[in-house]
Structure 1
Amino acid sequence: MGAERIVDKKFKRFEERYKEERGLIDESLGRPHISLSVEMPEGCEGLEEEFKSLSQDKEFMSELRDLVKKHLERKGREKGGNR
């Protein structure tokens, strides 16, 4: 169990570094992005594996992008923008 903890710790450190580097690359290419941390909703007990795999689910990510786009468009209209 001790070795697993060490590997997990190292992986998290590399994962954080990767996210930072990717953010810098994305910014330099001119495409802004955000990273969110989402807690599993109450009432979804027993669906932990499905929840953890959502970030790799192409359909879910597409629906999430659509939701963000609609939200931004609505915010733009509320501010008086022409979007």
Structure 2
Amino acid sequence: MDETVIGMHEAKSTLSQLVQRAAAGETILIGPHGRAQAKLVPVDVAPARKRIGVARGKFKVPDNIDEHNEEVANLFLVSNR
């Protein structure tokens, strides 16, 4: 791996190209006076996982779950003065 540190001015001037290099898998070190202060790396893109239904089968929903909906909604409407 090339440990060359890109200077700040060069990094600002060539940001688009540096991002393309990073996207291709290269790690880019950036900092003043040859001292790395930042690292530009490719984003790890993980496939989105389907989350709906992750607890399916783990809980039993009672048949009367909606029985107190109106009462609970009214609790939010009542002033606490």
- Return the structure number with greater strand share: 2
Computing the radius of gyration from Cα coordinates, the structure with the larger value is 2
TMscore range, shorter length: under 0.3
- Return the structure number with greater helix share: 1
TM-score, normalization by structure 1: 0.21
Higher relative contact order (CA 8 A, sep 6+): 2
